[in-house]
Structure 1
């Protein structure tokens, strides 16, 4: 291969890139290179062939097959291009299914269902000739002010790791490579601001931010990783061999391909100021371990070629990256592909997609408060109020095709069925009289004109359902999403005022929050003068509104649980339930960081009792903790409980969290039915970085409990880890195995 042929394999080309802002500072980096010139020597990636504009899938597939044939027959080496797309809430293409956002995956706590979703998404991608998906996001949430929270799964690394790895397995079982984002520390940005510096210590990095990525690499076998935009302690991750090579490859044995986040290589010059020009930026990134520059070759083409020819960059570094890219293409079957006939009669939103979307949406809805008004019997008159009550956009996350791309193409239909809550409630309650009032907009801070009409509608109704929250978008186009960071965690605009005035009407109020981040809504939850019930749904996707309507009516019971603490205020951030004793409320400070609702919280339409938590009194440090707990449905409705087991290391060589999730399991029980849930917890789940940053399991006292959240210790037990300090090096990440034994007749 010539140098030019090698470099062509290390870059992408964005065929449809225009003026639309669908990536950070894309307009500033837009390449003027003609497509024919860019692919003359071959090309590594084709960037977002389906996902940049609303293109007909069959027509674009015909074009893509033709282009792949041209690359294989008209370039000297005949190497096809690898095609990548975004797939965070489903394939980001026109008319493709839109699933709940990842924060909803976390709320469902159902890795098996997420794996099924990943496989269904991958099936669509495979059909269209797409080879790599830029998902999942494994950033552990630290600050809900950050706009990209809706792309994340949870604030708990074990939850992120188990659910994210499930997605990887599902996608890759379909023959599409997953890409982990954003390695590493991106979500810990200063003050929750996108791309801001990250100030985390090595221990927090090792024990909180790295484990989800390690699980996906070593247990999920992921084939691609994408760098974080951020710097950690002054060093941009895109230029850090310590992370991209030392940890990822040398420690974990990752042998796939590292791709740059869009324009991250050029950002080493333009945003970080550690490179004098594009050539030096390319050198830093290549040396660190970034194999492929995406979305296009701003730095890895001519600027890098000049560095190689001058002797500043050994060509062996280029060869290293090219061999990884070619190995990936071989693994995907690209080197032997013939591209005979493109697909026809493409259905990107078939019955399987919708079934999974509905199940995941239902499982992710969280009941935060209920005075008995829910489930809602057949009302005669419903006042449906709020800016999100009749909005399909409010059901989809930032990386949905509708909010990511179609927002730049007004008037273009979304291309699939996505009923609003107004439409779904009309279907759910066909005999009810439903009056709809918007009340206010999502974010306008001064327009109060619609609130009076909303209050009047509520007064004339039997029940008022007020639907508030977010509108996802990018870089200022929305209230949450990439680049839409906030200083306040109050509901945007006048939405709080709307809810409070409707409550004052005297009609019972059900508040539904459709959002991409948790908001500080303690005023609605902890007051006797607040709404009668509050539901939280994190962008539930195309089947979200029917799922919510089903839960409101009682056809389905809520079973979602908070994957992130519900914040008390913006001033209490950043916060994590994984805090040591002095990281939470205590008597040496007047500031209370206690969240309004804790991690793991979620109500349903029945009650569950957890009892008889039992463990062996002594377990060796290299053993397995077997814990059993009895769960009973003590109410009068069939429902699903999330059984959560937490632990606390009572004395350690470094400070440890007051609570740490060890395992979880969804259990569905009929009224009066019981089950025994057994958790086999490897002691390695209790491992942490000691003072020398060795990962260890120390002997000592461990307290376990099971409850309805991290803060609820309904039944507890204590054990002693015995034996020597166990050093964990080279072992696979620990995963808790769970077994459910039903003790009473239970048709579920």
Structure 2
């Protein structure tokens, strides 16, 4: 033993023994200290979160659970940040009698959110890759950078399943399908935690289903949709990914805020799923129980509700949990609730090595935007760009190109709302981002040096300024081809057109960009529409007139070269839609996961909700053929497994990557079911003429659903099996029969669909 007087510092002892020994020596005040947080200094230039400037700027007594965003609050060089964090940790250690450091956490939705760090594509772009291995590699790189500078916890991934494209935070999500969200989110968790950094699942749960897509709005969903769609990715990330932290949702579901929902934070998360990590509050969520939800009349009542429900640590500061000592002393709150939360926090600190003898803050890393990081960012960007339509004008072979549009010469359009340049630097207009991010204009000129590329903004992203449209139109008329770069600028709370608090009234392009497109399309010059955005916009008015349409979901610092590479043909596009592209600006539903009456409006309604481009869609500069569907066996018991095999052939003249997608459809069930649902997917790279056999192993659990009595069941009956390149392009169709009595799933079950690829050579 290193120190017999302090057994909690002995790495040879089991974690639980170390924590028990420490808690036996701690006072109530010491334990409550571990449940709080502090957001200190560097806030004079502006807030990056509501209420931020109202926070205390000093360390509390009796210890501290978390240090909030020591790097990501203001522009600070990473070496200065390391030194500042080390100084803060020394103060935290000195301020509590046990010398316990704090857990330092940071945002990492598009990479480490600090000055000079790599800006990866936004989460919606990760989803467009359909590549969990790449997402895992990116997360491991992010985790390594965080750990190297002394950060222990990352506030990512976001596992909210998109339900309404108007919601501002669509860009932060992994799309509208729970299996895609779950698979990629779990890969991110494993990658980040492989670097020794705690991943935080958010926002648990219901947030993306807010009414009218409005931030923080109430959520009205039934228990079946809540379980099957909104909870499901969290379950996979907890049970299969081993996530060590969860953050609550701001929203209330049917009148009950998540921060005060014991059934959610304790019953489902811990009792049902076996989660044994730490639940942290979203920023100010405990306070909001009093100030916005009004289910508590005071900070003390809010604290009592939250800790009873299962929130262990209040973030970003100790605004309400400071009342816990008085609540316990007065008999209004059982001390066992404080003990429960403190044990979880201290367990995590022991697991992170913060109580090991000789622990010191990190020494640092040479650069946070290394060549290795940029290579991953470039691969992610290239794989995420989606070619939606092409009449043959792409790849570009033009001697003159008119690049028009507000996203054409603005690299910030490539970055999400939680990227440091868009999240923090708007408050510091004189500070450079320190990250090289070429614009589309610079990238096109570099990519196609034989072409003369002119640029005209045409109009701003949001402001109704039409003054530049006529000049842009003249430039388009004079060119061989026009590339119209339109879309979003990410921001926070109304400062952008996409991002947290930047919700949309409808799905028309922001500002007067639609007018710009109409004017360009009227010139007669072939127009390639490039949408750089955080959400899908309705493009039905342009689809029949555009020469090509490209969708790039905020592709990060390497987005310019990636888009230019697709336009030139250097990159064969392989991205696929993780959300649908609407046909009309008010088209609903906002997801392909609908029962029959949710999509077929013929004879029922005058509105057609069908998408312009469906979930999973994306085309290439080569072509692929599907053949030879085999289902073995064609009949399985309610706990059995069947294999789905199909041959995919590259029938074109270029190598490329096809995303093979497997969907299931329950033909008849005791409750309404989606017309089809993604059940497996696999990216397959093929040379011209090459064939591969893709085999999915589907357990009967993958046909399960929440039945009439709200229990998950596998029901006997016929299941349609569909394989193809999108949710609507499914040339291979068969049926499997599930036989036996209804099986109730009580406990764990199979959530994944393993896949194998066998190369067959040239066909």
TM range (shorter): over 0.9
SS at match of 2:733: strand
Is the 1:42–1:75 contact (alpha carbons within 8 Å) kept by the matching residues of 2?
A: yes
From 233, 236, 255, the equivalent of 1:234 is 255
Structure 1 position 327 matched with structure 2 position 343: no
Once residues 713 and 81 of structure 1 are traced to their aligned partners in structure 2, the CA distance between those partners, rounded to angstroms, is: 52
CA-CA distance at 1:17 after TM superposition = 5.7
User: Structure 2: how far apart are the matches of 1:337 and 1:14?
Assistant: 27
What's the CA shift string for 1:58-96, capped at 9, x where partnerless? 112122223323433553111001000000100001000
Structure 1 unaligned spans of 5+: none
- Check conservation: 1:367, 1:534, Cα contact below 8 A: yes
More displaced 10-residue stretch of structure 1: 248-257 or 637-646: 637-646
Distance across 1 between alignment mates of 2:238 and 2:354: 23
Tell me how far apart the structure 2 counterparts of residues 666 and 74 of structure 1 sit (CA, whole Å): 53
| Residue equivalent to 2:494 | 476
Say yes or no: does 1:170 pair with 2:187. no
Query: Is the 1:385–1:467 contact (alpha carbons within 8 Å) kept by the matching residues of 2?
Result: yes
In the other structure, the counterpart of 1:25 is: 50
Deviates more, 1:407-416 or 1:288-297: 407-416
The counterpart of 2:620, out of the listed 598, 601, 604, is 604
Q: How far apart, in 2, do the equivalents of 1:722 and 1:251 lie?
A: 28
TM-score when normalising by structure 2: 0.95
The answer (yes or no) to whether the contact 1:463–1:507 under 8 Å persists in 2 is yes
TM-align CA RMSD: 1.4
**124-133 or 729-738, which deviates more:** 729-738
Specify the alignment match of 1:44 in structure 2: 65
> Which residue number corresponds to residue 7 of structure 1?
32
Q: Does 1:512 align with 2:512?
A: no
Query: Is residue 460 from structure 1 mapped to residue 478 from structure 2 by the alignment?
Result: yes
For residues 358 and 602 of structure 1, what CA distance do their matches in structure 2 show? 19
Distance, in Å, in 2 between the alignment partners of 1:341 and 1:297 is 23
Which of 353, 364, 376 is 2:373 aligned to?
A: 353
1:539 aligned residue (536, 548, 554):
554
Instruction: Point out where structure 2 has 5 or more consecutive residues left out of the alignment.
Output: 1-25
Call closer, same or farther: CA 1:21–1:411 in 2, change over 3 Å: closer
Q: Deviations over 1:651-692 (max 9, x none)?
A: 111111100111001111111111110011121111101111
Asked whether 1:412 is paired with 2:428, we answer no
Alignment check: 8 A CA contact 2:689 2:762 kept: no
Tell me, what secondary structure is at the counterpart of 1:359? helix
Residue 491 of structure 1 corresponds to which residue in structure 2? Answer: 509
Matched, 1:560 2:575: yes
* Segment of structure 1 superposing worse, 570-579 or 387-396: 570-579
2:722 to 702, 705, 726: 705
- Residues 522-533 of structure 1 mapped to structure 2, 5 A cutoff: 522-525=540-543, 527=544, 530-533=545-548
Is 1:338 aligned with 2:358? Answer: yes
Partner of 1:589: 605
Identify which of 383, 388, 407 aligns with 1:363: 383
Question: Is 2:400 aligned against 1:381?
Answer: yes
The 3 A distance-change label for structure 1 pair 226 and 701 is same
Match of 2:635 in 1: 618
Alpha-carbon distance, 1:344 to partner? 4.5
Task: Give yes or no for contact 1:12–1:294 (8 Å, CA) kept in 2.
Answer: yes
Task: Tell me which moved more, 62-71 or 323-332.
Answer: 62-71
8 A Cα contact 1:138 1:213, kept in partner: yes
Match of 2:16 in 1: none
Distance 1:52 1:24 in 2: 10
Deviation at 1:693, TM superposition (A): 1.0
Distance 1:40 1:179 in 2: 26
- Cα distance, 1:573 vs structure 2: 3.4
SS at match of 1:743: strand
- Identify which of 661, 672, 694 aligns with 1:677: 694
CA distance in 2, matches of 1:288, 1:105: 33
Question: Aligned equivalents of 2:293 and 2:562: distance in 1?
Answer: 45
State how far apart, in whole Å, the 1-side matches of 2:142 and 2:41 are.
22
1:123 to 144, 150, 154: 144
The structural deviation recorded for 1:407 is 1.1
Change (3 A) 1:540 1:626: same
Q: For the Cα contact (< 8 Å) 1:218–1:733, is it kept in 2?
A: no
Shift of residue 340 of structure 1?
4.5
Aligned 8 A contact 1:396 1:542 in 2: yes
TM-score (norm 1): 0.97
Equivalent residue, structure 2, for 1:205: 226
| 2:566 equivalent among 551, 554, 574 | 551
- Distance in 1 (alpha carbons) for counterparts of 2:363 and 2:704: 49
CA gap of 1:340–1:325, structure 2 versus 1, over 3 A, is closer
Structure 2: distance between partners of 1:160 and 1:236: 23
Question: Does residue 443 of structure 2 align to residue 424 of structure 1?
Answer: yes
Deviation of the 1:578 alpha carbon:
1.1
Q: 1:169-196 CA distances to partner (integer Å, 9 max, x unpaired)?
A: 0000000000000000100000100000
Which deviations, in whole Å up to 9, do the C-alpha atoms of 1:261-296 show, x marking residues without a partner? 000000000000100010000000000000000000
Range moving further from structure 2, 606-615 or 571-580: 571-580
Q: Check the 8 A contact 1:189/1:197 in 2, yes or no.
A: yes
